[in-house]
């Protein structure tokens, strides 16, 4: 555990940075889902199975889905001439 936990923390920092640096929202959705998975693994390693379960369901399934649907809503409902 002594090595795994610091590595996971660094991994979390990297995936969080990736979410910010991926500027295209369509691609960012995948970064968000991966970030959710990394956080899930980190929480599990931190002896928090309750939180990991919650993050797994919310962070890697529900929230990316909401982002996808929001992107879809923006695309299908172009108010002006250029979307």
Partner 1 sequence: MSPRIRVALLALSALILLPCAAQVIAGLPAFGSTIAQYGARINAITPEARHVANMVSAINFDLRGLDTLGEEFMLLAAITGTVVLLRGRRGEGMTGRAMHRPGRAVIPRSEATVLACRIAGPLTAVFGLYVVVHATVTPGGGFQGGVILASGTLLIYLGEGYTGWRDAIRSHWLDVLEGGGALLFALCGLVPMLTGAAFMQNVLPLGTFRDLFSGGLMLVENLGVAMAVTGGFTQLFLEFMEETREAEEPDEPGEESA
Partner 2 sequence: MSAVTNVLPYAVAAWLFGVGLYGIATSRNFIHLVGCLGVCQSATYVLLLGLGYRWGSIAPIFYDHPPGTPAVDPVMQALVLTDIVVGATLTALLLVLTVQAYKRGGSLDPGKLRPMRAGGQTDRDRSSDRGRPAA
| Cα–Cα distance measured from residue 77 to residue 83, given in angstroms and rounded to the nearest whole number | 8
Interaction of residue 4 with partner 1, rule CB under 8 A: no
75 binds, among partner 2, partner 1, none (CB under 5 to 8 A by kind): partner 1
Site string for partner 2, 39-68 (x = CB under 8 A): x--xx--xxxxxx--xx--xx--xx--xx-
CA-atom Rg of the chain in angstroms: 16
Interaction of residue 73 with partner 1, rule CB under 8 A: yes
Whether residue 8 contacts residue 45, with contact meaning beta carbons closer than 8 Å, is answered with: yes
Interaction of residue 76 with partner 2, rule CB under 8 A: no
Whether residue 38 contacts residue 11, with contact meaning beta carbons closer than 8 Å, is answered with: yes
């Amino acid at each position: 555990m002594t090595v795994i936990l610091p590595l996971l923390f660094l991994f979390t920092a990297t995936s969080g940075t990736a979410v910010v640096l991926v500027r295209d929202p369509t691609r960012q959705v995948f970064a968000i889902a991966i970030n959710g998975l990394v956080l899930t693994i980190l929480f599990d390693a931190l002896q928090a199975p309750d939180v990991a379960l919650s993050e797994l369901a919310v962070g890697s399934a529900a929230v990316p889905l909401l982002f996808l649907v929001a992107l879809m809503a923006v695309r299908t409902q172009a108010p002006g001439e250029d979307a």
